[in-house]
Structure 1
Amino acid sequence: MGQFDRKAQSQPKHGKPSDSGASRAPPPPPKSRPLERGPGLKKKAPPKKPQPPKNGVPNLQPNILPVELQQLILDIFRATFPFEDFADLKPMLGKINEALVQGDFEEALRTEEFREGYAIRWSPTRALIFANVFEQICDEHRNSPWVERLLGGDGDGPAKALCFGGGAAEVMAMAGAMRYRRADAAGKPTPYLDLHLLDAADWSGVVSKLTTGLETPPELSKYASAAARARNASFLSPQALKVTCTQTRVLDLTQEELQSLFPPDVTLVTLLFTLNDLYTTSIRRATSFLRKLTAVVPTGCLLLVADAHGASSTADGKENGQEEPYPMSWLLDKVMLPTQLKVEDELMPKREWEKLMGDMNRLFKFPEKGLSYPAGLENLKMQVHLFKRV
């Protein structure tokens, strides 16, 4: 196992909170255009309607992180939130799951106990998935400012990221990606990564415990050899990772408030299993949020969006089959990649994002052997989109 040869000895949560507020969705694309009459005018073809993702053979998400390192991440979850028997947690987890199914994220994450339960049951799966997505970005976009700083190629400071809807999974995923890419992130006090998590739930307690687990060498058996004790080190050095938590409802942020969250050297923004929840709350307000985001994100910054495969939202007041849902990917591209129209010999609006990745049908499969976690790990089908501000 080499540098990952360690085990935790302890024995014994992005759904995301929704925002309230009335909203209206944009009108759906018309089924046909009215017949235009006059000399030389012909009936125009109707515009294309948004289509749901096709259910073909999914693309496999590369499993880049070594199994030994993935197990260390699981060990930290296990040691940070110890329990004697996973069966004892099932009544509480059942309440959380019921609230998540109903879309009541405020109820699902309303107490510290519930947030820790979410971190035990659902965050480990997503942490490993997100970590491997980050690793793919490092492989394929090494010239981006975030990857350059993460890898140590830019001496101007740590890699800074804002995670909307961020919590336990994002912290552990980033820690895993940094540990894999920077072997010197363990045991040496050098700041490499600066995360700012923004969510309507208060994740500060859960995140504080996890960062302590990342920075503390695991407890060894009293029978451990001298060599094992010599190799025993924390997952990360105490100063390698800085995490700030802000409890806020992102759809309520004004342009000025959002601007204040963006230092000029932010190089990555994430919306991981968060954007469709915002669209479900209000398509109009979520669209407005993305436009505000576009106005404040610095040039070269990456925007990573991941969500469930086939995620979609229905306009307010049009539920129960009264209107077809809008695919999340279609809503996203309408804002990020608007169609250019020629107005008085000018192309408007100006394209402000470049799409680097757009995978609507991706499957992450855990290794068949080598990973152990009492709460279980679940393969996940998802969609992943990566944009760069230009």
Structure 2
Amino acid sequence: MPGFRQGNRRADRDTFDRPKSKPQQRPRQKQPERKQPTESQPQPQTPSQDADSPIDFSTPIPLSLQQLLLDVFKTALLTQSKPTQSSIPATDGAADSEEPAPLDIKSLIQTIKSHLYQRDFDAAFTDADSDLLRAYALRWSASRALGYAGIFKGVLGWMRNGDESSVKPLCKMEEISNTRVVCLGGGAGAEIVALAGVWRDLGLDGIDMDSLSKSTAEVSLSDAKIESGEGEDQINDAEKTTTEVETQSQSSSRSLSVAAVDIADWSSVVERLSKTIISNDVPFPLTSRHKPPLLARSEALDVSFRRADLLALGEQELKDVVLGETAQESSSLLVTLMFTLNELFSTSMPKATGFLLRLTEILSPGAILLVVDSPGSYSSVKLGKNKEGEAQERKYPMKFLLDHALTSVAGGKWERVYTQDSKWWRREAARLRYEVGEGAGLEDMRFQLHIYQRI
């Protein structure tokens, strides 16, 4: 299927060497920022870009909650589905009791990297089977979910509370009952899991995170003590407290609607993750004795997936994707393009600009647009031919193309809330556990970040 390959592809290709030649029909970005093995420290932030920001990105979600996000991915995606009764032979009931086997992560990741190295995006994503897509999500989406959680916490916290600066949300989340987040190119699941974690961390699910963190810390005992029975009363008391916290439903709770859109068929991945978020099957961090879901209130989360090529959507189709069938006038709306927009510009600059303009007309004042991409992303545009008849190309920074489309071409219908050319999220490598197979570890994330509000 020709055209744009959505779903956080560009940053993934930085994990292995790529061929030096570039296909002429698919211009790629210049990436001088590719991380080298010796680069172990984050680059300093530019004070002028953060000093006057109305959004606080300094506070991450608690470590125990980060671990729970990782466990959601592992529980949802690592184990293969059990075969159906009609597809297996009757062997004295042995097949029914047989435990489902885990994915062969090492082999699947090697296959994905091979496809990406050859730039065979159809094989890697569009035509990939469920196992390949699940392996991709386990390898790349889990890390991104932790990095995205910090971003979403800052943005949703600002949307909820506002601040004393001149830039404020036009419709505070405290004044409405529903928030809709549309993740364009977000089929791989990182945005969905991150949003659920932040929803819980901000207390919008009616959960008291301070009490939950306290009860979690109380059961942070060594495996040896747990096995020997030492501290049994402490564990039981903490679990009782945790259960009470999990089951309470406060009047301040809000509902979250997440719509993911992607060109590949990520429906199986999205379904598995969304079910696991509200499932008791995920072991709770620090002890496996108690198993509360990530979101205890299942009615607080609604997740949907739609397979579509963003650049091919007409105005009405895009409107249906963004607003949904049951959009509420009182809903706050956040639209995200996470490691996706530069792919749109690289595929077709005119089509990508037209897409942003259609999006502008669809969104009501107060809507927020969040763009995350690789730092230093560039897209090429053909400017005609030189004297020798060869096609001339010129590269433009994605940040420039975005800002030009929204603040110039769109006629002042957007206000820039925040911009940062290079930011870091760095994992707590020594304190987080993520054992899903060889070749699937956690990684730091470097990115550029831009936030606009429809006015």
TM range, normalised to the smaller chain? 0.7 to 0.9
After superposition, give the CA deviation of every residue in 1:57-85 in whole Å (9 maximum; x if it has no partner).
34396351111100011011111123599
In the alignment, which residue of structure 2 is the partner of 1:333? 403
Distance in 2 (CA, whole Å) between partners of 1:355 and 1:81 is: 37
The structure-2 alpha-carbon separation of the partners of 1:321 and 1:174, relative to structure 1 and needing over 3 Å to count, comes to farther
Q: Which secondary structure state, in structure 1, belongs to the residue aligned with residue 372 of structure 2? A: strand
Contact 1:251–1:289 (8 Å) recurs in 2:
yes
State the shift of 1:178 in Å: 0.3
Aligned partner (choices 24, 33, 57) of residue 43 of structure 2:
57
Query: What letter corresponds to residue 359 of structure 1 in structure 2?
Result: Q
Distance in 2 (CA, whole Å) between partners of 1:132 and 1:63 is: 7
Paired residues for 1:22-101 under 5 Å:
57-59=43-45, 62=58, 64-82=60-78, 88-101=104-117
Paired residues for 1:362-377 under 5 Å:
362-374=423-435, 375-377=440-442
Paired residues for 1:338-349 under 5 Å:
338=408
Contact 1:146–1:160 (8 Å) recurs in 2:
no
Distance in 2 (CA, whole Å) between partners of 1:138 and 1:363 is: 19
Q: Does residue 125 in structure 1 map to residue 143 in structure 2?
A: yes
Q: Does residue 180 in structure 1 map to residue 228 in structure 2?
A: no
In the alignment, which residue of structure 1 is the partner of 2:50? none
Q: Which secondary structure state, in structure 1, belongs to the residue aligned with residue 431 of structure 2? A: coil
Q: Which secondary structure state, in structure 2, belongs to the residue aligned with residue 122 of structure 1? A: helix
In the alignment, which residue of structure 2 is the partner of 1:19? none
Contact 1:23–1:316 (8 Å) recurs in 2:
no
Normalising by structure 1, what TM-score? 0.74
In the alignment, which residue of structure 2 is the partner of 1:38? none
In the alignment, which residue of structure 2 is the partner of 1:8? none
In the alignment, which residue of structure 2 is the partner of 1:292? 358
State the shift of 1:324 in Å: 4.0
Aligned partner (choices 202, 218, 232) of residue 281 of structure 2:
218
Distance in 2 (CA, whole Å) between partners of 1:86 and 1:14 is: 25
The structure-2 alpha-carbon separation of the partners of 1:316 and 1:350, relative to structure 1 and needing over 3 Å to count, comes to closer
In the alignment, which residue of structure 2 is the partner of 1:240? 300
Distance in 1 (CA, whole Å) between partners of 2:344 and 2:282 is: 41
In the alignment, which residue of structure 2 is the partner of 1:359? 420
The structure-2 alpha-carbon separation of the partners of 1:330 and 1:280, relative to structure 1 and needing over 3 Å to count, comes to same
Q: Which secondary structure state, in structure 1, belongs to the residue aligned with residue 393 of structure 2? A: coil
Contact 1:145–1:267 (8 Å) recurs in 2:
no
In the alignment, which residue of structure 1 is the partner of 2:180? 160
Q: Does residue 206 in structure 1 map to residue 192 in structure 2?
A: no
Query: What letter corresponds to residue 180 of structure 2 in structure 1?
Result: K
Q: Does residue 112 in structure 1 map to residue 130 in structure 2?
A: yes
Distance in 2 (CA, whole Å) between partners of 1:201 and 1:219 is: 27
Q: Which secondary structure state, in structure 2, belongs to the residue aligned with residue 184 of structure 1? A: coil
Query: What letter corresponds to residue 377 of structure 2 in structure 1?
Result: A
Contact 1:164–1:197 (8 Å) recurs in 2:
yes
Contact 1:146–1:267 (8 Å) recurs in 2:
no
Normalising by structure 2, what TM-score? 0.64
Q: Which secondary structure state, in structure 2, belongs to the residue aligned with residue 59 of structure 1? A: coil
After superposition, give the CA deviation of every residue in 1:270-303 in whole Å (9 maximum; x if it has no partner).
0011101111111111111001111111100000
Contact 2:256–2:301 (8 Å) recurs in 1:
yes
Contact 1:123–1:169 (8 Å) recurs in 2:
yes
Query: What letter corresponds to residue 302 of structure 2 in structure 1?
Result: K
Q: How many residues align?
A: 326
In the alignment, which residue of structure 1 is the partner of 2:349? 283
State the shift of 1:14 in Å: 1.9
State the shift of 1:201 in Å: 1.2
After superposition, give the CA deviation of every residue in 1:247-279 in whole Å (9 maximum; x if it has no partner).
111101112222233245451100011101111
Q: Whose helix proportion is higher, 1 or 2?
A: 2
Q: Which secondary structure state, in structure 1, belongs to the residue aligned with residue 151 of structure 2? A: helix
The structure-2 alpha-carbon separation of the partners of 1:354 and 1:218, relative to structure 1 and needing over 3 Å to count, comes to same
Contact 2:332–2:366 (8 Å) recurs in 1:
no
Distance in 2 (CA, whole Å) between partners of 1:286 and 1:176 is: 31
Distance in 2 (CA, whole Å) between partners of 1:199 and 1:284 is: 20
After superposition, give the CA deviation of every residue in 1:4-43 in whole Å (9 maximum; x if it has no partner).
xxxxxxxxx8228xxxxx9999xxxxxxxxxxxxxxxxxx
Distance in 2 (CA, whole Å) between partners of 1:147 and 1:373 is: 38
Contact 1:275–1:307 (8 Å) recurs in 2:
yes
Q: Which secondary structure state, in structure 2, belongs to the residue aligned with residue 166 of structure 1? A: coil
Distance in 2 (CA, whole Å) between partners of 1:359 and 1:113 is: 36
The structure-2 alpha-carbon separation of the partners of 1:71 and 1:317, relative to structure 1 and needing over 3 Å to count, comes to farther
Q: Does residue 138 in structure 1 map to residue 156 in structure 2?
A: yes
Gaps of 5+ in 1: 1-12, 17-21, 26-51, 340-348
The alignment yields a C-alpha RMSD, in angstroms, of: 3.5
After superposition, give the CA deviation of every residue in 1:189-215 in whole Å (9 maximum; x if it has no partner).
876100111111122211111112111
Distance in 1 (CA, whole Å) between partners of 2:136 and 2:130 is: 10
Gaps of 5+ in 2: 1-6, 11-23, 36-41, 47-56, 80-99, 163-167, 208-245, 385-389
